[in-house]
Amino acid sequence: MHRYRFVFYRPLQLLPVLVGISIITFVLVHSIPGDPARILLGTRATPEALANIRAQFGLDEPIWVQYFDFVKNLFHGEMGRSILYKVDVIGLILGRLEPTLVLVFGSVILSLIITIPLATLAAGHRGGAIDHAVRMISTGGLGMPAFWLGIMLIILFSVKLGLFPVSGYGQSVADKLHHMVLPCLTIALSLSAVLTRSLRASLLAEMESDAAMAARARGLPEHIVFRRHVLPNSLIPTLNLLAVNIGWLISGTVVVESVFAIPGMGQLLIRAIFTRDYMVVQGVAMLFALASVLTNFLADILTVVLDPRVTL
Amino acid sequence: MNRKIFFLAATTALAALTFGTSVAEAAGVLTIGRREDSSTFDPIATAQNIDFWVFANVYDVLVRVDKTGTKLEPGLAESWTVSPDNLTYTFKMRDAKFSDGSPITSEDAKYSLTRIRDDKLSLWSDSYKIVADMATPDAQTLVVKLKSPSAPFLSTLAMPGASIISKKGMETMGEEAYAQKPIASGAFMVKDWIRGDRVILEKNPNFWQADRVKLDGVEWISIPDDNTRMLDVQAGQIDAAIFVPFSRVQQLEADPNLNVLLEPSTREDSLLINHSHGDLGKQKVREAIDDATDKKAIVDAVTFGIGTVANSYIPKGALYYNADNAVRPYDPEKAKTLLKEAGVSNLTLTYLAQAGDEVDEQVGVLLQQQFAKAGITLNIRKVDPSQQWGMLVDGDYDVAKAYWTNDILDPDQKTTFVLGNDSNMNYMTRYNNPAVTKLVAKARVEMDPKKRETMYVELQKQAKADVNWVDLYYSPYINVARKNVKDFFQNPLGRFFLEDTDKE
């Protein structure tokens, strides 16, 4: 059972990581030039009104006092108040969580649906025309920026064919899923480009492995060998790659949410950065960091579960 | 067998996703796409058009601005009288109700105006400090006493910031709850506000002009990407969209399902000049810059010919606009001569642009080429929008493009900001002509419209002669609506008259 001991002590190691992230986020956010009070007040700003806003949000305090307040709030389960919206940051973030989660999970699932058959095909026809075709497709997928790909998908599937909504998130569950198909596809197409290459390589390696050879020697048909031995073993590096890419995936949602007008955390973050809504930027950044750290932790657990040889 | 069932299930799910839910919106609900979502419903706590444009349909004001944007008309105040000394205004309020059914009284009006003047949340205190005292002799009468006569006072009452809110409602609900889901005094009330996504309005049955309102509701939907927003209207997903980029107008006009609406606005784009920077303090040098600017070429390239060259700081069509104000024609040779006369050689300037703002960067590049012909070197420096703002305030720039849209119909607001030499250093230009400053103050208290007009014409001429900045262009609000939308209209101050809009 000691293989799973890391599940208990690893979270303790994560704590200093999170403290580090909080400091970095805070320093980065506060060192961007620009003044939230001035942005809020626009061209009509008078010195008194500016001072008034700064006092309301504690922006006139020394920077270390502001950091201390931020950490103190975190321990109370709070993240301060949004300067733009004038409401609690936590509530604001919770209201935006669902669309982003759906987008992330949807993209991962969709990218696996694309990746596994493509990589299998390519590995099965190593060096052949199909293999080259798959490689071309994945290189193409990497080359297309999300904002362009998204618009192209909208023009084709929404405007020309009328199959999916152009933008937004929807109300009922079915409606929401309907809205999320194109955004998820936009991310999945570029994500699967990365994953296909990795999975193809590990499939090729596993096909030559001793386990696969032995299975073939026992007279098992090739498709059984593939399903029982080759595929499960090849998925491990791909899963890890997926976990490493979670940061990239999250940054992808920021762009895609803007293109498809999805009211998620990415859009919240963008507007918060432009308006220097410090509390919101800090809150979202902390949450994204936490998500990224947790995903890697989960990937570790999954690896240990899938592969009995691994100890961490 | 298993595989077959799985396949069947998958196809059904896909089919359901594809065709199942293309919901048509309720017939009488108008959906409008815009760039950003609202930030609040507290009228005093914002200075952003994105909020103001929705306030106008959720709240009513004492005095409204008409469709032409040049005249005032009765709102919640049925009529008003002004004392001979121009210090006391007596408003007779009409019989009207809030969305919760309670009567709108002079007490609510007094509370709303006191709040915008005194509350610490208010971004507009300065404009209402002129109010000395208010009294409510009865529920329908509001008496406002001013500290000194003020010609623009009535028009400031029409500003969305001065919207009438429910005193009782605000006191019982609290500021935060009211700002989220207010009690309405206008044509529509807030049914729901999904932050970051949409504001859902429904018809206010208690509105005093409820008969006039044709729509059952309005949804303001946030679609930040310009391309996506346009595609949404083209695909019929939404009924209308605002903030149409200049570059898309021609293409959208070709779409038989759409009406592209170019509404006269009060927007003027101008080139700020920092008078405190070396040679830019010399009138001749600024004149040379104006001469070296090919305004027509900028209008053609940047606005695709949709805008018009600006000749005054007061927008075309606005109150007291001087149509005869002169435009300096593009003349790089004359600019060279002027620079020589001023004893300036090798003038090198920095244009401070907002990174990511396509139009701003484009103007910078055009100016660079045009100035070069007059022997002026222009360097472009791109910074983040909010950083640019700080640098303009701190005087850390030579030239930069900025714009202004009027909030009130009276020219005093912009004039004070641009020429009145108040705390904003004349829109960060550091322009300072004491005679002009004096005239701005005088025009503010002149109650005779004829005399006042003469003063503003004089101000426009003088500003042009001094080259307080370079007037670049006026441009309309550009909106697009599907053909079945009738009377979707925005006045020059930005107010949407959704109480008249209809959908067929």
- Residue B124 and residue A44: Cβ atoms within 8 Å? yes
- Residue B483 sits in the same domain as residue B420: no
Say yes or no: B189 and B76 in one domain: no
Pick from A42, A84, A260: CB nearest B47:
A42
Cα–Cα distance between B488 and B33 in angstroms, integer?
Answer: 13
Q: Which of B139, B169, B199 is the last residue of a domain?
A: B169
| Cα gap B503→B263, rounded to integer Å | 19
Contacts of A167 in chain B (CB under 8 A): 223, 225, 228-229, 231-232, 237
pLDDT at B249: 95
pLDDT at B20: 41
Among the listed residues B136, B113, B394, the one whose alpha carbon sits nearest the alpha carbon of residue A38: B394
Residue B22 to residue A162, Cβ atoms within 8 A: yes
- Comparing CB atoms, the residue among A39, A258, A261 nearest residue B386 is A39
Distance of residue B311 Cα from the nearest chain A Cα, in angstroms: 22
CA distance A263 to chain B (A): 5
Does residue B320 share a domain with residue B420? yes
Q: How far is the alpha carbon of A35 from chain B, nearest alpha carbon, in Å?
A: 7
Query: Among B40, B193, B197, B266, which would you mutate to test the A interface (most chain A Cβ atoms within 10 Å of its Cβ)?
Result: B197
Measured distance CA(A253)–CA(B17) in Å, rounded: 21
Domain that holds residue B199: 3-58+172-263+477-503
The domain tally of chain B equals 3
B125 and B109 both lie in a single domain: yes
Question: Are B290 and B339 contained in the same domain?
Answer: yes
A251's CB contacts (< 8 A; 6+ apart) are none
Closest Cα in chain A to B416? A44
Closest CA of chain B from A311, distance in Å: 37
Q: Spell out which residues of chain A touch residue B120, defining contact as CB-CB under 8 Å.
A: 52, 56
Nearest one of B350, B343, B28 to B217, comparing CA atoms: B28
**pLDDT, one tens digit for every residue, chain B (504 residues):** 455 555 555 555 555 554 443 444 456 999 999 999 998 999 998 888 899 999 999 999 999 999 999 899 999 999 999 999 999 999 999 999 999 999 999 999 999 999 999 998 888 888 899 999 999 999 999 999 999 999 999 999 999 999 999 999 999 999 889 999 999 999 999 999 988 899 999 999 999 999 999 999 999 999 999 999 999 999 999 999 999 999 999 999 999 999 999 999 999 999 999 999 989 999 999 999 999 999 999 999 999 999 999 999 999 999 999 999 999 999 999 999 999 999 999 999 999 999 888 899 999 999 999 999 999 999 999 998 878 888 898 899 999 999 999 989 999 999 999 999 877 789 899 999 999 999 999 999 999 999 999 999 999 999 999 999 999 999 999 999 999 999 999 999 999 999 999 998
Which chain B residues contact residue A35 at CB under 8 A?
Answer: 386, 389-390
Domain identity same for B283 and B351? yes
Q: Does A54 map to a domain? A: no
Cβ <8 Å between B235 and A158: yes
Distance from CA of B225 to the nearest CA of A (A): 5
Tell me the average pLDDT across A76-104.
87
Please report, for the domain that includes residue B162, its CATH number.
3.90.76.10
- pLDDT, one tens digit per residue, over A200-223 is 988 988 888 888 888 888 888 888
What residue of A is the nearest CA neighbor of B25?
A: A170
**Which of these ranges, A53-62, A137-146, B8-17, B312-321, has the smallest mean pLDDT?**
B8-17
Residue A41 with chain B: CB contacts under 8 Å: 47, 123
Chains A & B: contacts with CB separation below 8 Å: 150
Q: Which residues of A6-35 are buried (b: 16+ CB within 10 A; e: fewer)?
A: beeeeeeebeeeeeebbeebbeebeeeebb
HSE-up of B93 (CA within 13 Å, CB side)? Answer: 26
pLDDT higher at A31 or B96? B96
A8 lies in a domain?
no
Which of B7, B14, B18, B21 is most worth mutating to test chain A (most A CB atoms within 10 A of its CB)?
A: B21
Domain that holds residue A254: 89-306
Asked if A230 and A212 count as a contact pair (C-beta separation under 8 A), the reply is yes
Q: What contacts A293, CB < 8 A, 6 or more positions away?
A: A14, A17, A18
Looking at the domain assignment, is residue A177 inside a domain?
Answer: yes
Helix (H, G, I), strand (E, B) or coil at B406: coil
> Residues of B with CB below 8 A from A150's CB?
228
Q: Residue B329: which CATH number?
A: 3.10.105.10
Same domain, B347 and B273: yes
| CB-nearest partner of B196 from A40, A56, A268 | A268
Instruction: State the average pLDDT over residues A100-126.
Output: 91
Please count the structural domains in chain A. 1
Bridge partners of residue A88, in order along the sequence: A81
Helix (H, G, I), strand (E, B) or coil at B137: strand
Q: Are B196 and A170 inside 8 Å of each other by CB?
A: no
Cβ distance of A33 and B180 shorter than 8 Å: no
Closest-CA distance of chain A to residue B222, Å:
7
**Contact B237/A165, CB-based, under 8 Å?**
yes
Contact B389 A34 (CB under 8 A): yes
Quick check: is A298 in a domain?
yes
The enclosing domain of B499 has a CATH number of 3.40.190.10
B223 to A274: CB separation less than 8 angstroms, yes or no: no
Same domain, B331 and B462: yes
**Do residues B368 and B469 both lie within one domain?**
yes
Does B321 share its domain with B183? no
Contacts of B220 in chain A (CB under 8 A): none
The verdict on residue A37 lying in a domain is no
pLDDT digits (tens, 9 = 90+) for A9-20: 777 887 888 888
CA distance A35 to A24: 19
B263 CA to centre of own chain: 13
In a domain? residue A6: no
Closest CB to A96 among B125, B180, B196: B196
Substitution target from A41, A83, A84, A86 for chain B, most B beta carbons within 10 A: A86
Contact A288, A278 (CB under 8 A): no
Question: Do B432 and B367 fall into the same domain?
Answer: yes
Using CA coordinates, name the residue in chain A closest to B49.
A42
Strands (DSSP E) found in B286-347: 308-309
Q: Which positions in chain A touch B386 (Cβ < 8 Å)?
A: 33-35, 38-39, 274-276
Q: Among partner residues B228, B235, B385, which is closest to A260 by beta-carbon distance?
A: B228
Helix or strand holding residue B470 (H, E): strand B469-482
CATH number of the domain where residue A113 is located: 1.10.3720.10
Nearest chain A residue to B193 by CA: give it: A95
**A227-277 residue pLDDT tens:** 888 888 888 888 888 888 887 888 888 899 999 999 999 999 988 988 888
Task: With CB atoms and an 8 Å threshold, state whether B231 touches A275.
Answer: no
B341 and B409 housed in the same domain: yes
Which of A34, A86, A158 lies nearest to residue B390, judging by beta carbons? A34
Smallest Cα distance from B332 to chain A, Å: 32
Q: Mark yes or no for CB contact A34/B197 under 8 Å.
A: no
Residues of B in contact with A276 (CB under 8 A): 386
The full DSSP string for A70-83 is HHHHHHTT---B-T
